[in-house]
Structure 1
Amino acid sequence: SPFNYQGTKVTMSMGNYGAAKAKVSQYSKIGENIGISLSGYYDRNDGFFINEYNDTKADKEESAGGRFKLEGYITDHLKAQYAFNYDYVTQKAFPYGQYDPQTGTVQPIRINDPSSYWRRTLNNSLYLEWKTDRFTLASTTAYQYLKDDMKMDQDYTELSVFTLHQKQKHYAWSEELAIKSNTKSNYQWSFGAYGFYNSLNTDGPVIFKKDGLTGILQKAFDDILANNPKAPKLTVRGDELNQIYFPGNFDTPTHGFAAFHQSTYNNLFVEGLSITAGIRLDYEKASLDYHSAVDSMKIGVQMGPMKMTLPVTTSMDGNISQDFLQVLPKVSLRYQCTPETFTYVSVAKGYKTGGYNVQMFGDLVQAQAKYDLMSKFAPDKAEHPGAVKDVASYKPEHSWNYEAGIRSELIRGRLSAELTLFYMDIRDIQLTSFAENGSGRLITNGGKANSYGVELSLRSRIMDGLTADLNYGFTRATFRDYIFTDKDENNQIVKTDCKDNFIPYTPRHTVSLGLQYTKLLHRKMIDQFIASAQFTGAGKIFWTEKNDISQPFYCLVNAKVGVRKGIVNLNLWSRNITNTDYQAFYFESFNQSFIQKGKPFQIGGEITVTF
């Protein structure tokens, strides 16, 4: 806050892989009651991975942005704060290498079609606070805007199978009003209301290229007609470039409101015991206006000596919507055993709203086109596609969350600890899966699940200037009843019972250990010496519901050492010092597995000047 600090900071940093960063911040007061802060930054790197198809960096990135904040005390009771943020990023993207589950190796990146991402975002908000001796009334009004452009080689190989060029425009308004008590009595209360409107337009045409026509679409028709000697021979054809265009435009507006209340009563029955109870009424409406089609697709038909070419003109247009209404209660007990120690237990209902997967429409429009053709030439093989509302939507996720914990200062001024136990009973868990046509990630529902575990935090002042932080978490998140449906290499449906399997993307163990040492020096060449190191670990992480692909537990070590002389700070930093080779992300496309590796060892220097 400019009321707490006034001055200017200038920071510049450089490192290997072409890393460079610059940031300027200014904090100042304009009179006694108004403060202003400004900052701007620029950040870039040359990328960490090579695309061997054209011998270029696969993930070069550049970003820039700025922040502006104006704070003021308009009267003794009224405070106002306006904040404005703008960010811009452009990068090459999606450095996935094909993964061989048999050998556990990741092939080099070989992407032949452009893969990039460009985004600009704008966020601004106005916060007003009216404070009296009895209550505090606050209002938060926010507006967000996003525009992006994504080009993706969706087969992630040197083949010309298919590409996606997706553009999004998004804006959102939100308003929250909250009032809470501001007295010293045992009873404390708060009430509030929240409303929002989101508008999102997604234009995401998919282009099937020559290898996609012959290797995927043509094979699909051949497989269907393989056992029917009387069926005609069908040949898939595209435009003059031998491409098929699948346009898709989607509007997914959402709006909703919520009302909430919370009451706390302190010193209940005995001193130090408090109870908190709250409830939230949440409503949301999600809509989908869709247009998806098959363009420039032709089918060559041969029956004996007769040959003809038929254009395929399949389109899907419509509008669907979903309404979600939830009542979310919460209750907790807290007991302050001593001034340094308290324990608590809590129960709360959790909820994630449902929505729509627009990337499913690649599958849907292809299925509709297949059905239209098979109805003419092989009616017994025609499979009617599912309804849009059933295939493209996903349901809400519900959970009951139980937690118990203790926080204590074990050694005054030296050692504090926090221990938490938790259990989550989840229904209709939302999972990340992959579209059958390879066109991207989807959200699906996966039945019931349990998640339980423990979190431990220790903070210690070992000696003057030396502190240590240790955090450990254990999570066991498994399915209770989930049947995973997939297709084998022969396009036959295969069902796998995933009961007791671990939920994907959830690390079993997380651990971090941080050490920081600060030494002030008098009458020396330098005024201060600072050194810090951080060890982090995560795993085992399963990437699939079947638990057949995983990332074992891995560790990263980062460090920083620096000196200060007057207004100048010099630092040497490094990340992933041990150059650990690990999997950062997993993806599937057309039954092929792809992995993005974590960033390698980085090192660089930084200078900061504070005026």
Structure 2
Amino acid sequence: MPAKKHTFTRTAISLALAGTALPLAGISAAQESGAAIEEVKVYAQRREQSVEDVPISITAYSGDLLERANIIELDALSDVTPGLVIQEQSPNNPGFVIRGITSDSGSAQASPRVSVYYNGVDVSRSRGSYFELFDIERVEVVKGPQATLFGTAASVGAVSVYTKKPEVAPAAALSLGAGNYGSRLARGFATGGNETLQARMAFMYRERDGFIDNIAGSAISQNPGGRSQGDMQAIERLSLRPSLRFTPTDNLTVDLVYNYEENDDSGTSFKNGRFAPTGGDTSPFSYVEMSGSPVSAEVLGKADLGIERETQDLNLTMEWALSPTLTLTSISARREFDSLEVFDADGTQAWFLEFGEDAEGEQFSQEFRLVHTGDRLTTIAGANYFTEDGSQRVPFSTEESIYLNCAGALPLGIPCINADGSVNLLTPILTGGAVQQLPYQAEFANYGNNDIWSIFADFTWAATERMELTAGLRYVSEDRRSGFSALSPNAVIAQAPLLPVVSTNGEILEASGSFDDYLPRFNVLYSLTDETNLYATIAKGRRSEVIDVVAATGTDGSAVANVTESPAEIVWNYEAGIKGSVMDSRISYGASVFYQDYSDFQVTLQDEAGNFFTANAGAATNLGVEIDVRALLGTDIELFANTAWIDAEIDRDSSNGTLAGNRFRLQPEWTASTGLFYDRDLSGGLSLTGSLIYSYRSDVFFEPENAPIAGIDISEDAYSLLNLRLGVANRASGWEVSVFANNLLDEEYLVDAGNTGGSFGNPTFVAGPPLFWGVQVDMRFGD
């Protein structure tokens, strides 16, 4: 696969971090000015605390910092967060990786591993977990098992996002932007009210043309004037968030938040690594010829490649201060998503692997939580109910002879695609001229319904003036039901289904089970000095059992349920760290080392039909170190630097099968980032602002097998990215004009490889975004 590669060694990371050496003169100037690093209060332990006082590994960002760094997408968070990788193949298919563990399965039968929380509510289901970042109060990335307080989905960590709340004082803001690839952005908010009732309306709309050209239907394609598909990786996204805050008394606060998001993105650029488009090559970064299925509208649900996705949720949070030391919180939430993605899984001009994914889900959750803060003992106790109902339907379209030939099932020695880009349609030859074309369609679907009850309690005791001990426990009880259905007719030529799926003729085959477990945590926090804390933690994480249901042929020839139950994946996390600040909070820092021991490690694989399923890979271990530093250099510059080393692999034991010794997918061994924020007053009331952020990732495997497919490497070498923003602001007048460039050096890199095409011997590759640049105007009104 031809592609531009840049290899960086660990020395590069050392140099990058060495470049953040802190000039003592600058820090002294900051000290004289009385400036300090912004302190972000976090809610990771269900009460407001400073990051330094939380005995777990946590990285937090304020909404202001996200705006200064021009971070408006979830995946950009991982560029600045040690131990976190977020892969956005599309908003329908995000992958969240914390400390080497990936949560990205779209199956309704599987459970998430990484909790994604939105205003205190678990929204982790893969196809419904993506949302835009706008009008944000703060983001907390909590690493290590957090099941005691966050629930069973947080088996390795959680990404928690809180949006801004309504305010009494009238205020508003509007941002308008434009850039290359036809990008346009508009976002803003308006808020105001009285002492009893306040309202806020926030929105964001952005669109951008595709950055991978698609020549399908053009004059140079195999079918000039035929079906024209849009360029790949274009986006069009609309988000609305009205909210109300009701404060009838000083002791009661009621927040009602509604979120609506609509995505209408073009198709993902799955570029075939074996067959080139007409006149092109197999580089993931050059143009494609993805024409899709000519019967896409009828079979797959929409005519063009791309995504139509809608999510909405309603959140009611009530907080009563029952006394100065006792607070009761109730969170009621309902969320639903409906996502249809049509994709060309073979990434060529052939009518070969054309799929759709129609995923739907709805959930409801209710949590009651009491927090009592005594002189020496803090107690958290609560109960949670969570129910979800989801499905993932996968329709399939192909032409019989093209499928059989491209899949290597016809021993005729005729290539799938000729050197000139033409596709060999062999139906006339195979049918003796009786039929010119044989369209084929099939579909399979999985279903999941889960009811989860849990109760939890957590106690933090100030044993001495400098030592806190924490012990917590969650009991969880789950009722899980999985289903499967398929329509898989016999093909004319093969006289058998093309996909190796047993047809149920649309009947849903089901299996169910009930499970429970206890999930503890133990923490120690020791204040070495007033500004330095040491901590140690032991916690248990659990990814729920998976009841995997497919169809098999019974003794009477009918379809019966073939059920595989994967046991719960259990992880014990052992961690120690240090957090603190020096020089009157001009410098803050944190460092941790962790060891994770997995049993019944679950991996997501694809079968020969492209259907994802969960397999037990046995035992696995994970060792890592994370370090982050923030500092003020003078009064104008704020600097950050972080790095993470993670050695995550399935144990080298023969009992772990063919995956023994393999590295976890999507997890680089090394990640690092460093950057600075600049803000300097000029004459005439103007200020010069800016940010420069460098990020690095070492090589990564995209599939659990860590092996080539069809002789083609399914991995990515190390790469680094550089993002820049420069602006001029007048704070008195409330405006700022800025220019930005993401991926300033136009680095070519992959965000995914293998994919569904890999299951059919045709691995595909998804290119990362190129250089994006633009201009933005920000205006603020009122307070």
Aligned to 1:214, the other structure's residue is in SS state helix
Q: Secondary structure at the match of 2:579?
A: strand
- 2:605 alignment partner in structure 1: 433
**Shift in CA distance, 82/10, structure 1 to aligned 2, threshold 3 Å:** same
Question: Which of residues 260, 274, 290 is equivalent to 2:484?
Answer: 290
Q: Structure 1 residue 34 and structure 2 residue 197: aligned?
A: yes
Number of positions where the alignment pairs a residue of Structure 1 with one of Structure 2? 553
Aligned counterpart, 1:473? 644
Distance 1:468 1:217, change over 3 A: closer
Q: How much has 1:412 moved relative to structure 2?
A: 2.8
- Equivalent AA in structure 2 for residue 50 of structure 1: D
**Counterparts of 2:534 and 2:312, CA distance in 1:** 42
1:75 and 2:249 aligned:
yes
Q: CA offsets, 1:396-447, max 9 Å, x none? A: 311000110001223333322211111100122222322322x254443321
What is the letter of the counterpart of residue 383 of structure 2? A
Q: Which runs of 5+ in 2 are unaligned?
A: 1-164, 219-229, 276-280, 293-303, 413-429, 496-501, 708-713
**1:343 deviation in Å?**
0.2
- Contact 2:509 / 2:560 at 8 angstroms: preserved in 1? no
CA contact (8 A) 1:52 1:109 kept: yes
Question: Cα deviation per residue 1:477-511 (whole Å; 9 max; x = unaligned)?
Answer: 011146799xxxxxxxxx74x43331111111111
- Residue 176 (structure 1) shift: 0.4
Q: Distance in 1 between matches of 2:316 and 2:567?
A: 34
Distance 1:539 1:385 in 2: 47
Structure with max Cα Rg = 1
Secondary structure in 1 aligned to 2:210? coil
Q: 2:655 and 2:352 mapped to 1: Cα distance? A: 27
- Counterpart position of 1:510: 671
Q: In structure 2, what is the equivalent of residue 20 of structure 1?
A: 184
Letter in 2 for 1:34: L
Aligned to 1:410: 582
Alpha-carbon distance change, 463 to 256 in structure 1, aligned in 2, over 3 angstroms = same
CA distance in 2, matches of 1:4, 1:545: 52
Q: Distance in 2 between matches of 1:440 and 1:138?
A: 41
Written as runs of structure 1 = structure 2, the 5 A alignment for 1:550-569 is 550-565=715-730, 566-569=733-736
462, 470, 494: which one aligns with 1:276: 470
1:591 aligns with 2:761: yes
Indicate whether 1:343 and 2:534 are aligned: yes
Partners of 1:451 and 1:426 lie apart in 2 by: 8
- Give me the whole-angstrom Cα distance separating, in 2, the residues matched to 1:20 and 1:35: 31
In the TM superposition, 1:177-192 aligns within 5 A as 177-183=368-374, 185-192=375-382
CA RMSD of aligned residues (A): 3.2
Instruction: Give the whole-Å Cα distance in 2 for the aligned partners of 1:166 and 1:128.
Output: 37
CA 1:242–1:400: 2 relative to 1, 3 Å: same
- Counting only pairs closer than 5 Å after superposition, residues 186-201 of structure 1 correspond to structure 2 as 186-201=376-391
Aligned to 2:740: 573
Return the match for 1:247 from 440, 443, 448: 443
CA distance in 1, matches of 2:433, 2:537: 61
Paired amino acid for 1:572: V
Q: Which amino acid counterpart does residue 698 of structure 2 have in structure 1? A: G
d(CA) in 1 for partners of 2:716 and 2:560? Answer: 35
Q: Is the 8 A contact 2:233 2:268 kept in 1?
A: yes
CA–CA separation in structure 1 for the residues paired with 2:267 and 2:494:
37
Tell me, yes or no, if structure 1 residue 122 matches structure 2 residue 285: no
**Alpha-carbon distance in 2 for matches of 1:509, 1:125:** 38
Q: Is the 8 A contact 1:237 1:300 kept in 2?
A: no
TM-score, length basis structure 2: 0.66
CA contact (8 A) 2:729 2:735 kept: yes
Correspondence 1:317-396 to 2 at 5 A: 317-355=508-546, 368=553, 388-390=562-564, 394-396=566-568
Q: In the alignment, which of 93, 105, 112 is matched to residue 291 of structure 2?
A: 112
Pairing partner for 1:261 from 457, 461, 464: 457
Q: Aligned letter for 2:718?
A: F
Aligned to 2:687: 528
Cα deviation code 1:317-366 (max 9, x no counterpart): 421113231111110111011110010000000111233567xx5xx57x
Once the 2 structures are TM-superposed, how far is the Cα of residue 118 of structure 1 from its aligned partner?
0.5
- Tell me, in whole angstroms, the C-alpha distance in 1 between the residues paired with 2:308 and 2:736: 34
Q: Relative to 1, partners in 2 of residues 1:171 and 1:93: Cα closer, same or farther, differing over 3 Å?
A: same
Q: Report the equivalent of 2:130.
A: none
Letter in 2 for 1:401: N
Q: TM-score, normalised by structure 1?
A: 0.83
Q: CA deviation at 1:248?
A: 3.2
Query: Are the counterparts in 2 of residues 162 and 212 from structure 1 also a CA contact under 8 Å?
Result: no
> Is the CA contact 1:406–1:420 (under 8 Å) kept in the aligned structure 2?
yes
In the TM superposition, what is the alpha-carbon distance from 1:139 to its structure 2 partner?
0.3
More divergent stretch after superposition (247-256 vs 582-591): 247-256
Q: Is the 8 A contact 1:238 1:296 kept in 2?
A: no
Which residue is 1:225 aligned to?
none
Higher normalized contact order (CA 8 Å, seq sep 6+, divided by chain length): 2
Larger strand fraction of residues: 1
Give the Cα–Cα distance (whole angstroms) in 2 for the partners of residues 569 and 335 of structure 1: 44
| One-letter identity of the residue aligned with 1:58 | M
Contact 1:484 1:545 in 2 (8 A): no
Q: 1:581 to 1:442 in 2, by over 3 A?
A: farther
Report if the CA contact (8 A) 1:66-1:85 is conserved: yes
Q: What does residue 175 of structure 2 align with? A: 11
- Which amino acid in structure 1 is aligned with residue 619 of structure 2? K
Per the alignment, do residues 5 and 49 of structure 1 end up closer, same or farther by CA in structure 2, a change over 3 Å counting?
farther
Contact kept in structure 2, 1:286 and 1:323, CA below 8 Å: yes
Partner of 2:215: 52
Report the secondary structure of 1:205's partner residue. Answer: strand
Letter in 2 for 1:13: G
Q: Are 1:134 and 2:325 an aligned pair?
A: yes
1:463 aligns with 2:634: yes
Residues in 2 aligned to 1:414 and 1:454: alpha-carbon distance in whole angstroms: 24
Check whether the contact 1:14–1:606 (CA below 8 A) recurs between aligned residues. yes
Check 1:602–1:236 CA distance in 2 against 1; reply closer, same or farther (3 A cut).
farther
Structure 1 segment 294-305 matched on structure 2, within 5 A: 294-295=488-489, 297-298=491-492
Corresponding residue for residue 145 of structure 1: 336
1:445 matches 2:620: no
Distance 1:74 1:238 in 2: 79
Q: Is the 8 A contact 1:235 1:300 kept in 2?
A: no
Distance 1:319 1:240, change over 3 A: farther
* CA separation of 1:483 and 1:244: change in aligned 2, threshold 3 A: farther
Kept in 1: contact 2:270–2:344 (CA 8 A): no
Looking at structure 2, the residues matched to 236 and 519 of structure 1 have their Cα atoms a distance apart, in angstroms, of 78
Counterpart-to-counterpart distance in 2, 1:327 and 1:237: 66
CA distance in 1: counterparts of 2:262 and 2:626, whole angstroms: 37
